[in-house]
């Protein structure tokens, strides 16, 4: 457990880190957040995460009580106070305390809290042997309803799909969009390796308009793939595309890069992590191991 939580300008013990029961972040999921990694005391892509946080806030007309520079400093202060060497940060901004009605603009200034702790989304052996997933019956939020680009405090859509995966004895589920195309998993972006039309292989991940969150780890891995000379495309994928892929893996801040070796009871490729996946996992670990970029 962390020693201190940053809450509205102060570092306090976890048992004192509380928000009001009238906070609309609790009552309605009205707020935004970011999950951020710490590697070797360096906050990975902090500026990029904060920029995405502010975009999410602007989209829901939530004015953060602090500017980007102040949140940057507060995040680093929290990491230092908890002596966080390798860990995970959760930074949240709520709408604030208000009435029991939905009206967001009757709320007082939003609460800001930052947690620096550890996280283990999947058991270590799955990074070696691969993850088994299912396709969920829960449709990813329609972009015209709640945009998946908004990283809001309301994750019920994802949670319902996660429940379905757990009930099936799996740890993750693929979510399809309203058109039946692959969107993302409950907390991770999706990549497949397949034969390219012109020969060779290509790395494919769904486009933003498929209803995904533009993942920071996802974009990092795309950059690593391009640097390695691997062809990368953004294209709609169906369940069939997953079933017949040569390789598949997921990316996310908490998950990092994890192989997938089975979807809906069907082995992916040879049923074990493939060479392209292994290569990108190694490249990602090399990037973050000593001098993780902070912008």
Cite the active site residues.
151
Residue 111 has, within 13 A of its CA and on its CB side, a CA count of 23
Q: Is 182 exposed, middle or buried (0-12, 13-18, 19+ CB in 10 A)?
A: buried
* DSSP per position, the chain: --S-EEETTEEE-GGG----TTBHHHHH--EEEEEEEEETTEETTHHHHHHHHHHHHHHTT---SS-HHHHHHHHHHHHHHTT-SSEEEEEEEE--B--SSS-GGG--SPPEEEEEE---SS-HHHHHH-EEEEE-SSPPPPTTTS-TTS-BS--HHHHHHHHHHHHTT-SEEEEE-TTS-EEEESS-EEEEEEE-TTSSEEEEE--GGGT----HHHHHHHHHHHHTT-EEEE----HHHHHT-SEEEEEETTTEEEEEEEETTEE-TTSS--HHHHHHHHHHHHHHHTT----
């Amino acid at each position: 457990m962390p020693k201190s939580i940053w809450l509205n300008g102060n570092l306090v013990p976890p048992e004192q880190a509380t928000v009001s029961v009238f906070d609309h972040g609790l009552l309605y999921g009205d707020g935004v957040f970011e999950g951020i990694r710490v590697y070797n005391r360096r906050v990975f892509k902090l500026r990029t995460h904060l920029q995405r946080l502010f975009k999410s806030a602007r989209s829901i007309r939530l004015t953060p009580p602090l500017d980007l520079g102040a949140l940057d400093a507060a995040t680093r202060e929290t990491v230092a106070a908890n002596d966080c060497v390798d860990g995970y940060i959760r930074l949240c901004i709520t709408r604030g305390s208000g009435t029991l009605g939905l009206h967001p603009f009757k709320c007082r200034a939003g609460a800001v809290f930052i947690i620096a702790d550890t996280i283990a989304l999947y058991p270590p052996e799955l990074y070696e042997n691969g993850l088994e997933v299912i396709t969920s019956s829960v449709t990813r939020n329609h972009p015209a309803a709640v945009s998946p680009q908004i990283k809001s405090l309301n994750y019920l859509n994802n949670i319902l799909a996660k429940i379905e995966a757990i009930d099936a004895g799996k740890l993750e589920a693929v979510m399809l969009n309203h058109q039946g195309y692959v969107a993302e998993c409950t907390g991770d972006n999706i990549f497949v390796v397949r034969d390219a039309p012109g020969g060779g292989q290509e790395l494919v991940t769904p486009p933003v308009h498929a209803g995904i969150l533009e993942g920071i780890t996802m974009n990092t891995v795309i950059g690593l793939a391009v640097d390695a000379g691997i062809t990368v495309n953004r294209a709609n994928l169906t369940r069939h595309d997953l079933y017949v892929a040569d390789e598949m893996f997921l990316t996310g801040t908490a998950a990092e890069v994890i192989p997938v070796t089975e979807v809906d009871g069907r082995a992916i490729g040879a049923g074990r992590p493939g060479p392209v996946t292994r290569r990108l996992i190694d490249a990602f670990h090399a990037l973050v191991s000593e001098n993780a970029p902070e912008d």
